[in-house]
Structure formats: structure tokens, C-alpha cells
């Protein structure tokens, strides 16, 4: 049963917007789990994403086990590396970095991941991942050795997203990068959304309710926020149910 993907599609058909709180195991203190997840549960968040660019081996597994004790929200892996795959989560974004031309991140790591995934019950969701420049070098850029797409090259971004859809990807993720100075512009989100039939994820640099609403209004179906909560958990106050 592909429940996570089906629920995303059902929410879109009911015009319900989705929000994922992203937790990076490398930056999160496991001792803070109870208190943090209580805030997530009281918020409009619909998903918990877990992942980071550089994470210690087993840290993801430990963190997911702990989080599961405190929430019924779906836990989806957003892995920077194969070592972050754990059966304890509910699903995994099988990300292909379409904005770059590093074959490892387009297909190589995916082949390596198969033997690990075959021993899990994770719902594997094929996801096109497009990094768009945000004014500073991001962790994804450094780790993958790829360049982000230019913000002004909107047609190239649209064509890249459509190519991913033609390849059969189930989700498309537009990424400004963790901690981006500015989130993606409504124009980019709107143009991509207009041309796509698959759900659109948007993340990177969203730090206020107004920015969240702008991105939804432009066409984002699911928004991912991590840094804003790392910097100040008071942000949860603004997005209570
Ligand atoms: C990062 O898109 C996510 O991969 C979320 O970005 O940490 O800037 O919220 P932030």
C-alpha cells in the first residue's frame, strides 16, 4: 500500500496544503525529541522529514525510533546518503538530483541503495530534486559537486521538472537549499506548477508564515521547513492547528 503518496494526492484533490518539518539528525539533540515533537503535533505539520547532507552512521535510525514514540505523523526519509536509510521510517524520497550532472546523484547512489531497500518495508517515492541558486553555496552543492540552476532561467527549470515527470517521477522538489537567504520566488513555483501534473514540493529558506502562505498560493503542494525551527522553536506558535 502506497499510503504516503496516496494521501498526498488525496490532500491535493481536496485543496489541502501539506507541511513537512525537516529534522537533520546531525543538528538535532535527541534529548529534545519529546518537547520538539509535541510542538510538531500541535502544529499544522502533516509530515516529518528526516535527513541531512552529512549525518553520522546510525544517527538517523536512533532518531526515527525515538520520534515514533511521540507521533503518528508519517516519517519520511529525505536522505543525503545511503547510510541514512532505516526501516524504522514509513517512506523514503528516492531523490534524483536533476539540476546537476553528477551521475552518482542522478542514478549511481540509487543502484547502491537497492540491496538495502529490498530489506525494508519503506514506501519508496521517486522524486525529482532541483536545486536552484539562493545567493550562497549550499550543503547539497558542496556534497554533490554540482551547480544549482539560475533563478532567472525559469524555462530551464520548468523543462527540467517536466523531463523528470516524463521519466515517471512521482514528486518534484524545488529546493533553494537548507538555510537559503531567500525562499524561491512565487514566479518560479507558479510556472513549474502550471506545467506539471505531479505534486510539487518546495523548500529552502522559508522562515515566516507569510512566506509559507506565499509559496502555497503560488502552487506548492507540500512545503518543507527545517532551519526556521532549528533557529527558533517559537515559530511553531505561528503555525498552530
Ligand atoms: C532543505 O528544503 C529543505 O533541504 C528545508 O530548507 O532548512 O531552509 O527550511 P530550510
Going residue by residue through the chain, which has 241 residues, state the pLDDT in tens, using 9 for 90 and above: 689 999 999 999 999 999 999 999 999 999 999 999 999 999 999 999 999 988 888 999 999 999 999 999 999 999 999 999 999 999 999 999 999 999 999 999 999 999 999 999 999 999 999 999 998 899 999 999 999 999 999 999 999 999 999 999 999 999 999 999 999 999 999 999 999 999 999 999 999 999 999 999 999 999 999 999 999 999 999 999 9
Instruction: Please give the pLDDT value at position 78.
Output: 98
Query: Whose CA is closest to atom 1 on ligand 1?
Result: 178
Grid cell digits, residue 89 = 521510517
Is the distance from CB of 77 to CB of 97 less than 8 angstroms? Answer: no
Give me the pLDDT at residue 135, please.
87
Helices 154-166 & 186-195, crossing angle to 10 degrees?
A: 40
- Whether residue 178 has its Cβ less than 6 Å from ligand 1: yes
Report CA(182)–ligand 1 centroid distance (Å): 11
Return the CATH number of the domain spanning residue range 3-233.
Answer: 3.20.20.390
For ligand 1, say whether the CB of 205 is within 6 Å of any of its atoms. Answer: yes
Predicted local confidence at residue 94, as pLDDT: 98
- Whether 218 is in the pocket of ligand 1, judged by its Cβ within 6 Å, is no
What pLDDT is recorded for position 133?
A: 96
CA distance 28 to 45: 18
The closest-lying atom of ligand 1 relative to the alpha carbon of residue 227 is 7
Q: Which residues contact 24 (CB under 8 A, 6 or more apart)?
A: 50, 51, 52, 55, 178, 226, 230
57 by Cβ neighbours in 10 Å (0-12 / 13-18 / 19+) ranks as exposed
Please name the helix (run of DSSP H) or strand (run of DSSP E) that holds residue 95, with its range, or none: strand 91-97
- Rounded to the nearest angstrom, the distance between the alpha carbon of 176 and the centre of ligand 1 is 7
Pocket test for ligand 1, best of 182, 205, 220, 232 (most atoms within 8 A of CB): 205
pLDDT at 2: 82
Count helices and strands in the chain by DSSP H and E runs: 11, 8
Amino acid at each position: 500500500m502506497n499510503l504516503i503518496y496516496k494521501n498526498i494526492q488525496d490532500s491535493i484533490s481536496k485543496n489541502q496544503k501539506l507541511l513537512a518539518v525537516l529534522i537533520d539528525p546531525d543538528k538535532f539533540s535527541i534529548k529534545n525529541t519529546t518537547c520538539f515533537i509535541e510542538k510538531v503535533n500541535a502544529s499544522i505539520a502533516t509530515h516529518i522529514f528526516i535527513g541531512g547532507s552529512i549525518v553520522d552512521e546510525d544517527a538517523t535510525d536512533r532518531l526515527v525510533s525515538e520520534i515514533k514514540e511521540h507521533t503518528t505523523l508519517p516519517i519520511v526519509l529525505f536522505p543525503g546518503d545511503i547510510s541514512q536509510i532505516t526501516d524504522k521510517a514509513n517512506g523514503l524520497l528516492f531523490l534524483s538530483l536533476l539540476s546537476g550532472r553528477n551521475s552518482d546523484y542522478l542514478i549511481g547512489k540509487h543502484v547502491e541503495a537497492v540491496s538495502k531497500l529490498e530489506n525494508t518495508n519503506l514506501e519508496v517515492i521517486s522524486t525529482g530534486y532541483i536545486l536552484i541558486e539562493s545567493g550562497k553555496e549550499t550543503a547539497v552543492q558542496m556534497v554533490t559537486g554540482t551547480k544549482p540552476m539560475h533563478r532567472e532561467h525559469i524555462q530551464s527549470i520548468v523543462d527540467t521538472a517536466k523531463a523528470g515527470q516524463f521519466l515517471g517521477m512521482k514528486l518534484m522538489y524545488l529546493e533553494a537549499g537548507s538555510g537559503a537567504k531567500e525562499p524561491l520566488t512565487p514566479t518560479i513555483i507558479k510556472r513549474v506548477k502550471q506545467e506539471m501534473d505531479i505534486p510539487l514540493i518546495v523548500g529552502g529558506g522559508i522562515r515566516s508564515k507569510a512566506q509559507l502562505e506565499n509559496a502555497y498560493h503560488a502552487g506548492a503542494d507540500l512545503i518543507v521547513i527545517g532551519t526556521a525551527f532549528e533557529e527558533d522553536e517559537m515559530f511553531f506558535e505561528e503555525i498552530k492547528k
